[in-house]
């Protein structure tokens, strides 16, 4: 253990203390402030759990989480199984389509589905035109719509986890069951599915936590009695009523505690049940089945159904973006580029801000994430596991908690929030785990002897890092970089608390245009623009991941 890595660890801990521990402790302290007396106490918490309304929002959120998790699980299991096990055409394109919601901004889906499934949206108007219904059907407003939209957004997490599980479990586990006499469904439910629980759980916990984070979707659908929405309203709209503000903060803390506890519980359980290490000599492809023609057509229908739901988002937003006055008509009739002209002429700053803030956050992310990955994987510095732990916890923190705590922490004492740099810093803190995970796992795959050989040849640690490690890590790091950028680019739940006039990003612009002015043409054009930018970035990922680097390092993962 060198002195260099100790100072590096100290430096990184300082950053974490400043950007994570300090603001979060301020958040907790604020939640104990009593508005009426100006003193301290647990009064706010007592009120939260005794007040019928807050209690209801709390239970509502738990209920919503359960519904979303059940829905994604029921739809995700067959989807993951088809993707992982069946030999079929267009595997890559279907996988890409079904995973698309991960990279699309959550609110983009909400707007698209309101336009399409709303009371006077495309589907209802068509149904009434052909005379099937008299009154519009309420497809989307209410709990069912909320579950639908949130489930579609989170479905990829379940599918990703499960299909990895289905692919990675040793085929002989299932063959052994087959030989023992278990066929079909029996084998699936007694062997296959239980063995996949660890990888399922990793995704499931993120799905369950989403309703504790997403304040915007319920708000737009007219459902405000959920914790994040209540926090948002209390803090953003009632800041003059100090007591309501504190209650909002309490709601944020309660959400955070629930999220963190569930996250840790799932992590502990997964660690305990790690099955993968037990099998030896798995095939890379896993078990691939050639299903019968009937099953195969059923699988296609199912995949196409989900893919269409996902594709509705960019298509509907595209239609709205290139038209004006699209109301009470199933499809737009007046086509124009006006929306884009307005964005580019009147608010080019939004695009600039989005790129600038995400870009700076990204630079911070690399400058911080790579050394952390190095420390965790390659050194024995004390506290490196704690460092990893704290950063991983950020995955579970609701974005709203980071936004609110930054607002509280960096306003008076350390007046960072009065400068625009707070925006990229917040994006960096919120999305850090995404980059770190990626750098971490590519570091784990890098054989230490490659670096040792360089050191033996006379290169110092820093030189070895730039000459040997970095070029070899590049693939994983680059994919991590682009993912980080995409996630930062669509961030709203943190940014919405921190922006001031002139600091608006595209997601905030979308929200404001929709929410305040009902300018949904402009909002749709902005969302469409974001989707296009995200799509281009994804193309770059697949180019980097699949093209140039595949040639240099041989066929990597599929």
In the complex with other proteins, which residue's Cβ is closer, 75 or 200?
200
Rounded to an integer, what distance in angstroms lies between the CA atom of residue 51 and that of residue 230?
14
State in angstroms the smallest separation of the CB of 479 from other proteins. 31
State in angstroms the smallest separation of the CB of 178 from other proteins. 5
Rounded to an integer, what distance in angstroms lies between the CA atom of residue 491 and that of residue 513?
17
Rounded to an integer, what distance in angstroms lies between the CA atom of residue 435 and that of residue 477?
8
Closest CA to 444 of 384, 376, 366: 376
Closest CA to 166 of 208, 143, 198: 198
In the complex with other proteins, which residue's Cβ is closer, 137 or 295?
295
- How far from each other are the two terminal CA atoms of the chain, in whole angstroms? 37
In the complex with other proteins, which residue's Cβ is closer, 144 or 186?
186
Rounded to an integer, what distance in angstroms lies between the CA atom of residue 209 and that of residue 255?
9
Rounded to an integer, what distance in angstroms lies between the CA atom of residue 157 and that of residue 203?
5
State in angstroms the smallest separation of the CB of 282 from other proteins. 8
Evaluate whether 61 touches 227 at the Cβ level (below 8 Å).
yes
In the complex with other proteins, which residue's Cβ is closer, 183 or 240?
183
State in angstroms the smallest separation of the CB of 94 from other proteins. 24
State in angstroms the smallest separation of the CB of 194 from other proteins. 5
State in angstroms the smallest separation of the CB of 201 from other proteins. 13
| Residues binding other proteins (CB under 8 A) | 170, 172-173, 175-183, 186, 190-191, 194-195, 197, 273, 275, 278-281
DSSP 133-201: -SSPP-SSSSHHHHHHHHHHHHHHHHHHHHHHHHHHS-HHHHHHHHHHT--HHHHIIIIIHHHHHHHHH
In the complex with other proteins, which residue's Cβ is closer, 107 or 166?
166
Closest CA to 208 of 269, 158, 243, 173: 158
In the complex with other proteins, which residue's Cβ is closer, 32 or 275?
275
Q: How many CA atoms lie less than 13 Å away from 34 in the CB half-sphere? A: 11
Q: How far is CA 333 from the centre of its chain?
A: 35
Q: Is 61 exposed, middle or buried (0-12, 13-18, 19+ CB in 10 A)?
A: buried
Evaluate whether 203 touches 160 at the Cβ level (below 8 Å).
yes
In the complex with other proteins, which residue's Cβ is closer, 197 or 236?
197
State in angstroms the smallest separation of the CB of 87 from other proteins. 13
In the complex with other proteins, which residue's Cβ is closer, 170 or 451?
170
State in angstroms the smallest separation of the CB of 199 from other proteins. 13
DSSP 187-205: HIIIIIHHHHHHHHHHHHH
In the complex with other proteins, which residue's Cβ is closer, 281 or 501?
281
State in angstroms the smallest separation of the CB of 204 from other proteins. 17
CA distances (Å), origin 260, targets 58, 267, 389: 16, 10, 12
State in angstroms the smallest separation of the CB of 180 from other proteins. 4
In the complex with other proteins, which residue's Cβ is closer, 284 or 449?
284
Q: How many other β-carbons are positioned within 10 Å of the β-carbon of residue 91?
A: 15
State in angstroms the smallest separation of the CB of 291 from other proteins. 15
In the complex with other proteins, which residue's Cβ is closer, 37 or 284?
284
State in angstroms the smallest separation of the CB of 169 from other proteins. 10
Evaluate whether 489 touches 354 at the Cβ level (below 8 Å).
yes
Angle at 430 between CA 545 and CA 218, to 5 degrees: 105
Backbone angles phi and psi of 182, in degrees to 5: -95, 125
Helices 384-393, 422-445: crossing angle, 10 deg rounding? 120
In the complex with other proteins, which residue's Cβ is closer, 92 or 276?
276
Evaluate whether 143 touches 185 at the Cβ level (below 8 Å).
no
State in angstroms the smallest separation of the CB of 89 from other proteins. 18
Alpha helices in 394-469 (DSSP H): 399-409, 422-445, 448-456, 461-464
In the complex with other proteins, which residue's Cβ is closer, 287 or 437?
287
């Amino acid at each position: 253990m060198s002195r260099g890595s100790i100072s590096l660890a100290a430096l990184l801990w300082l950053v974490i203390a400043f950007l994570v521990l300090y603001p979060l402790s301020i958040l907790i302290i604020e939640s104990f402030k009593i508005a009426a007396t100006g003193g301290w106490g647990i009064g706010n918490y007592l009120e939260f759990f005794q007040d019928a309304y807050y209690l209801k929002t709390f239970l509502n959120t738990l209920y919503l989480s359960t519904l979303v998790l059940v829905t994604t699980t029921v739809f995700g299991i067959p989807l993951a199984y088809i993707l992982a096990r069946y030999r079929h055409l267009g595997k890559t394109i279907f996988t890409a389509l079904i995973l698309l919601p991960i990279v699309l901004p959550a609110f983009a889906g909400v707007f698209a589905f309101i336009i399409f499934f709303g009371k006077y949206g495309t589907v209802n108007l068509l149904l009434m035109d052909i005379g099937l219904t008299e009154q519009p059907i309420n497809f989307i407003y209410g709990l069912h719509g909320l579950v639908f939209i949130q489930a579609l957004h989170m479905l990829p997490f379940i599918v990703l986890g499960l299909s990895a599980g289905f692919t990675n479990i040793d085929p002989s586990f299932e063959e052994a069951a087959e030989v023992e006499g278990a066929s079909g469904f029996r084998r699936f439910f007694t062997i296959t599915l239980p063995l996949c629980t660890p990888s399922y759980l990793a995704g499931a916990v993120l799905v369950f936590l989403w309703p504790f984070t997403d304040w915007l979707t319920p708000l737009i659908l007219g459902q405000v009695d959920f914790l994040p929405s209540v926090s948002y309203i209390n803090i953003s709209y009632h800041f003059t009523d100090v007591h309501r503000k504190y209650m909002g903060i309490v709601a944020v803390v309660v959400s955070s505690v629930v999220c963190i506890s569930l996250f840790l519980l799932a992590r502990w359980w997964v660690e305990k049940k790690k099955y993968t290490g037990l099998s030896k000599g798995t095939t890379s492809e896993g078990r691939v089945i050639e299903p019968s023609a009937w099953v195969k057509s059923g699988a296609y229908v199912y995949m196409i159904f989900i893919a269409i739901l996902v594709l509705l988002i960019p298509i509907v937003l595209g239609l709205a973006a290139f038209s004006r006055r699209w109301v009470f008509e199933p499809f737009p009739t007046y086509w124009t580029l006006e929306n884009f002209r307005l964005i580019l002429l009147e608010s080019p700053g939004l695009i600039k801000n989005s790129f600038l803030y995400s870009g700076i956050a990204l630079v911070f992310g690399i400058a911080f994430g790579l050394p952390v990955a190095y420390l965790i994987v390659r050194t024995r510095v004390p506290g490196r596991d704690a460092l990893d732990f704290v950063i991983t916890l950020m995955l579970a923190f609701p974005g709203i908690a980071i936004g609110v705590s930054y607002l509280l922490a960096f306003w008076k004492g350390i007046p960072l929030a009065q400068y625009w740099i707070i925006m990229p810093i917040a994006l960096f803190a919120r999305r850090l785990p995404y980059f770190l995970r990626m750098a971490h796992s590519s570091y784990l795959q890098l054989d230490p002897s490659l670096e040792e050989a360089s050191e033996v040849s006379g290169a110092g640690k820093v030189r070895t890092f730039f000459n040997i490690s970095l070029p070899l890590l590049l693939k994983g790091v680059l994919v991590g970089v682009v993912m980080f950028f995409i996630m930062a680019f669509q961030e709203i739940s943190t940014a919405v608390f921190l922006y001031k006039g002139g600091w608006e990003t595209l997601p905030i612009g979308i929200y404001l245009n929709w929410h305040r002015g009902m300018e949904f043409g402009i909002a749709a054009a902005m969302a469409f623009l974001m989707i296009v930018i995200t799509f281009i970035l994804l193309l770059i990922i697949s180019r980097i991941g699949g093209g140039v680097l595949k040639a240099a390092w041989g066929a990597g993962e599929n």
